[in-house]
A = this chain, B = another copy of it.
Amino acid sequence: MNPVEIIIKKRNGNKLEEAEIRNFVELYLQNKIPEYQMSALLMAIFFSDMQPQEVETLTKIYIESGKQLQFPPKWHTVDKHSTGGVGDKISLMLTPIAAACGCKIPMISGRGLGHTGGTLDKLESIPGFRTDFSDNEFKQLIEKNGFAIISQSQQLVPADKRIYALRDVTGTVESLPLITASIMSKKIAEGAANLVIDLKIGSGAFIKDMKNAKKLAKLLKTTGENLGQKVKVIFTNMNAPLGNYVGNSLEVLETIEFLKGKMPADVEQITKALAIQMLNLTGIEQNRNKAEKMITEVITNHKALNFFKNFIETQGGDPAVCDDTSLLPQAKYELNIKSPATGYIKNIDSQAIGYALVDLNAGRKTLESKIDHSTGAYLPYKIGDKLQKDEKLGTVFANNKKTGKAVAAKLAKCYQLSAEPIAKQPIILGES
């Protein structure tokens, strides 16, 4: 097997055989194929694409590079994945709700990089909260609380871990086949029998249009189903930050309020749509209306909130934050953001909002950056909302007044207003 021939074969648009992909990846992991040949192959895949069978092979090799978790077959295991968006705290409210309805959710999550925050960063704003647990502890946590959210160990899909790090520095992240193998290998190795995916589309997401979204959804579903995991994809709108808050402890605050019934419309719609699919896939409740009723009930009767409290406590955090959110990290300053004009919001640059908040250390510039859990912004307006010039558009939460003011000015510029009325946008765009 000559690595150059395999690179050229893919570069010329041909399908690679299973043995070719396997040899290339395995020799790479054994340091017998150098990084520069792997990065050339990754860029060739970016341009030449991969057929579903190639993606399945790559996913399988990723999974086999590490160990696989297993749960009792009678458990209703299901996990959720989001392709990432600004203010995306859905995992935080969705997991206790679905668990309160009977699902078992083994969620292995990540930290944020770039313009989107990570679920682990958000949870770690809760004093004492831990995410490093052994496989056995993970299983016990799920058995006890219905769900657990922990960080990825070195033993789970090491091939993806290493290749993702290379993709990150070689401009080869945004490739649908590579994204699919990366997502699905982790989610399958994690041991859940079912998976719901929140596939975000819009200015704040890396998928900008429905055509690419459908292509990715098909790849995700085919790969999952051929490797033994049932997959449901929900397409959601990412043209505005999700909910009212962006920032780590602020999103935990929003989660607690949500579980007490104060639900921003977009977060409610997405959370419920995903929860319905989780109940459906696991067979807990096939009927959509009945499933929605179950979900509304566990919110109304605070069963989900109690699941969240227990979860926090068992993972080492202080559950009192649910009763007194002032126990969460608080920023020193609150600075007003003023509307730059009078008119209807036509466009929101969610990605720029995410990057602006990195100036407050609400997100990471590099993997080594330290997060400030207390900072962020309150941004309640969506596309179609009307504002007066200089009206309060939102709030910045900062620990440095000068930086906070600069960020407030940057955030104001992320909103484009129109004199003409602008239609509100739907949140749920479809499913697959």
Count of chain copies: 2
The segment out of A169-177, A257-265, A413-421 that lies at the interface is A169-177
Docked-complex contact B42 and A170, CB < 8 angstroms? no
A43 touches B11 (CB 8 A): yes
Give bound CA distance, A192 to B369, whole Å. Answer: 53
Task: Say whether, besides A170-B4, A171-B4, A171-B11, A40 and B39 are in contact (CB < 8 Å).
Answer: yes
Interface residues on A, range: 20 to 34
Instruction: Tell me the minimal C-beta distance from A12 to chain B in angstroms.
Output: 9
Chain B positions within 8 Å of A169 at CB level: 3-4, 36-37
A3 to B170, CA, bound (A): 8
Determine whether A316 belongs to the interface, using a CB cutoff of 8 Å to chain B.
no
User: Cβ of A7: which chain B residues have Cβ within 8 Å of it?
Assistant: 170-171
Contacting residues, chain B, for A128 (C-beta < 8 A): none
Residue A38 at the B interface, CB < 8 A?
yes
Q: Which of B8, B39, B46 contacts A37 (CB 8 A)?
A: B39
A40-B42 in contact given A4-B170, A171-B8 (Cβ < 8 Å):
yes
**Alpha-carbon distance between A38 and B37 when the two chains are bound, in angstroms:** 11
- Residues in chain B near residue A36, CB distance under 8 A: 34-36, 38-39, 166, 169-170
Closest to A7 in B: B171
Query: By the criterion CB–CB under 8 Å, are B170 and A40 in contact?
Result: yes
For chain A residues 161-206, which have a beta carbon within 8 Å of chain B?
Answer: 166, 168-172
Do the beta carbons of B170 and A37 come within 8 Å of each other? yes
- Chain B residues with Cβ below 8 Å from A46 are 11
Contacts of A39 in B (CB 8 A): 36-37, 39-40, 43
Taken together as a complex, chains A and B put the C-alpha atoms of A44 and B3 apart, in Å, by 18
Q: For residue A34, which residues in chain B have a CB less than 8 angstroms away from its CB?
A: 35-36
